[in-house]
C-alpha cells in the first residue's frame, strides 16, 4: 500500500502526532509525508517527500490573538491552487490528511477519497462541545478547511463513535511524574515581555517559560526562559506543579494525563481554541481570557482555591487509532482506563 500523509505545520501538535504515528503507518505500506505550513517551532526527522508553505496563522503577540489581516495577506491563492493541481494524491492507495488544506483541495479536484484525521476532524461531529456563542465563520473553517470523505477525530473525550482519545507521546505516556514546585508556561501567542511582567509579580513561585526567542537558558528573577526544545519541555512537564498554556490540544491533553493543575488562555479569534476551552471546562480546568494586570489574582485563585482538574482517560491505544485510519471504525471501551483495555 502507498500512503500519502499530509501534516499541517502550523503550531506544534500536528508534527508531534506525526512523529508518533509515522512508524505505525509504515507497518501498512510505504508512507510519503507532505508538510505544509511555516510556523511550527518543532523540528522533525520525518522523511518529507513534499513541502509547501501552505497557509499558516499569523499572530498578534501584543494582544494574544490571530492577526487576520497578516494571515490573509500571506495567503497566495494562485500558488495554492497550482500546488493542489500538481500534488499527486491520485497515485496513492490511501490519503491521510491532518488538517492540511492543499491536500483536501487536491482530493476534491481529482475525486480522490481521503481520511480527515486529527483533533480538528473531531469537529465534524456536532456532539463535540462548543462555546455558548457559536461563530459561523469558525464553524465553516472547521467543516471545510481540510475536509475528507471519512473522518477520524481525536479529543479529550470520545464524544462520538469516530472520535478517539488523544495520542500521547511515549516520553509523557511512560513518565513517572513528580512535583518540584515550578510552573511550566508556554504562551506562544503572547510576547515574552508581557508574560514575564506578570510572572515576576508572583515572586513566591518559580516559572519555566518556554520561548521561541531564546536559544539558551536565561534566568530573569523568578522566571527561567528556556528554548522551545521538545526534550526540555517534556522534562519540565513531568516535573512541574502546574502548566499555563494556550487552549490547544496536545499540551492540555498531556497535562491532564499527568494529573497536574492546568490553566489555559485561549487565543483570541481562534474558534477551535474557544471550543477546546468549552471542553476543558468539563474537566474543571481554569480558563483565563487574557494575561493582564489582573493575572496574578487569577493565578492565586487557581493555585490555592481551584479544584483539581479531572484526569484524562486514554480509551484507545494508538495502534487501534491507526487501524481505524487505515481500515475504518474499531471498537473502543468508552471512558475505560488503559489497563482494562489491555486486559479485555
330 and 235 both lie in a single domain:
no
Tell me how far apart the alpha carbons of residues 320 and 204 are, in angstroms, rounded to a whole number.
45
25 and 82 both lie in a single domain:
yes
Length of the chain: 344
What are 226's three cell numbers? Answer: 528556556
144 and 218 both lie in a single domain:
no
In the chain, the DSSP E strands lie at 2-8, 30-36, 48-52, 59-60, 65-66, 94-98, 115-118, 150-154, 163-164, 183-186, 207-211, 218-220, 223-227, 242-245, 261-264, 286-287
163 and 207 both lie in a single domain:
no
Residue 242 lies in a domain: yes
322 and 209 both lie in a single domain:
no
Q: Which residues pair with 184 in a beta bridge?
A: 208, 243
Ramachandran angles phi, psi of 150, nearest 5° = -145, 145
10 and 116 both lie in a single domain:
yes
Task: Give SS3 for 32.
Answer: strand
Domain of 102 in residue numbering reads as: 2-167+316-343
What's the pLDDT score for residue 66?
65
- Residue pair 37/53 in contact (Cβ under 8 Å)? The answer is yes
Residue 310 lies in a domain: no
Residue 309 lies in a domain: no
Give the closest residue to 122 by CA, choosing from 159, 148, 95, 97: 159
What are 340's three cell numbers? Answer: 482494562
- Number of compact structural domains in the chain: 2
Ramachandran angles phi, psi of 69, nearest 5° = -65, -45
131 and 184 both lie in a single domain:
no
159 and 201 both lie in a single domain:
no
74 and 191 both lie in a single domain:
no
What are 89's three cell numbers? Answer: 494524491
Residue 311 lies in a domain: no
299 and 196 both lie in a single domain:
yes
What's the pLDDT score for residue 69?
65
- Residue pair 54/101 in contact (Cβ under 8 Å)? The answer is yes
Residue 59 lies in a domain: yes
What's the pLDDT score for residue 341?
31
What's the pLDDT score for residue 305?
85
Ramachandran angles phi, psi of 298, nearest 5° = -60, -40
What's the pLDDT score for residue 332?
43
Residue 82 lies in a domain: yes
Residue 218 lies in a domain: yes
- CATH number of the domain that 40 lies in? 3.40.50
What's the pLDDT score for residue 74?
63
What's the pLDDT score for residue 78?
82
Tens of pLDDT, residue by residue, the chain (344 residues): 999 999 988 767 888 899 999 999 999 999 999 998 765 555 667 889 998 876 666 565 666 666 556 666 666 778 888 899 999 999 999 999 999 999 999 999 999 999 999 999 999 999 999 999 889 989 998 999 899 999 999 999 999 999 999 999 999 999 999 999 999 999 988 999 999 999 999 999 999 999 988 999 999 999 999 998 889 999 999 998 999 999 999 999 999 999 989 999 999 889 999 999 999 999 999 999 999 999 999 999 999 988 878 889 898 999 999 999 999 855 443 433 333 333 32
Residue 30 lies in a domain: yes
Q: For cell 501534516, what's the residue? A: 7
Tell me how many helices (H) and strands (E) the chain has. 13, 16
143 and 215 both lie in a single domain:
no
- CATH number of the domain that 299 lies in? 3.40.50.2000
68 and 91 both lie in a single domain:
yes
For the segment 45-61, what is each residue's pLDDT rounded down to a tens digit?
A: 788 999 887 666 656 56
Tell me how far apart the alpha carbons of residues 82 and 306 are, in angstroms, rounded to a whole number.
51
Amino acid at each position: 500500500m502507498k500512503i500519502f500523509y499530509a501534516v499541517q505545520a502550523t503550531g506544534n501538535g500536528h508534527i508531534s502526532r506525526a512523529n508518533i504515528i509515522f512508524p505505525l503507518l509504515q507497518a501498512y505500506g510505504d508512507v510519503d509525508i507532505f508538510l505544509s505550513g511555516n510556523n511550527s517551532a518543532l523540528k522533525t526527522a520525518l522523511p518529507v517527500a513534499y513541502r509547501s508553505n501552505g497557509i499558516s496563522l499569523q499572530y498578534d503577540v501584543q494582544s494574544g490573538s490571530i492577526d487576520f489581516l497578516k494571515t490573509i495577506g500571506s495567503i497566495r491563492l494562485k500558488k495554492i491552487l497550482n500546488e493542489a493541481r500538481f500534488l499527486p494524491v491520485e497515485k496513492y492507495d490511501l490519503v491521510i490528511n491532518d488538517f492540511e488544506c492543499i491536500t483536501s483541495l487536491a482530493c476534491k479536484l481529482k475525486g480522490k477519497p481521503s481520511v480527515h484525521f486529527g483533533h480538528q476532524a473531531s469537529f465534524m461531529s456536532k456532539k463535540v462541545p462548543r462555546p455558548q456563542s457559536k461563530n459561523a465563520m469558525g464553524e465553516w473553517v472547521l467543516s471545510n478547511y481540510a475536509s475528507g470523505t471519512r473522518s477520524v477525530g481525536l479529543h479529550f473525550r470520545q464524544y462520538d463513535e469516530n472520535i478517539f482519545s488523544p495520542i500521547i507521546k511515549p516520553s509523557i505516556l511512560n513518565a513517572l511524574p513528580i512535583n518540584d514546585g515550578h510552573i511550566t508556561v508556554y504562551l506562544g501567542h503572547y510576547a515574552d515581555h508581557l508574560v514575564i511582567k506578570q510572572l515576576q509579580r508572583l515572586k513566591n513561585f518559580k516559572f519555566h517559560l518556554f520561548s521561541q526567542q531564546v536559544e539558551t537558558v536565561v534566568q530573569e528573577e523568578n522566571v527561567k526562559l528556556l528554548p522551545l526544545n521538545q526534550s526540555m519541555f517534556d522534562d519540565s512537564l513531568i516535573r512541574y506543579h502546574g502548566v499555563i498554556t494556550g487552549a490547544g490540544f496536545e499540551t492540555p491533553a498531556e497535562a491532564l494525563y499527568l494529573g497536574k493543575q492546568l490553566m489555559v488562555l485561549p487565543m483570541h479569534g481562534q474558534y477551535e481554541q474557544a471550543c477546546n476551552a468549552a471542553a476543558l471546562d468539563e474537566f474543571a480546568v481554569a480558563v483565563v481570557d487574557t494575561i493582564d494586570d489582573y493575572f496574578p489574582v487569577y493565578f492565586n485563585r487557581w493555585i490555592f482555591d481551584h479544584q483539581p482538574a479531572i484526569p484524562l482517560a486514554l480509551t484507545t491505544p494508538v495502534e487501534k487509532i491507526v487501524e481505524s485510519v487505515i481500515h475504518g471504525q474499531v471498537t473502543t471501551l468508552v471512558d475505560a482506563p488503559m489497563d482494562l483495555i489491555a486486559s479485555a
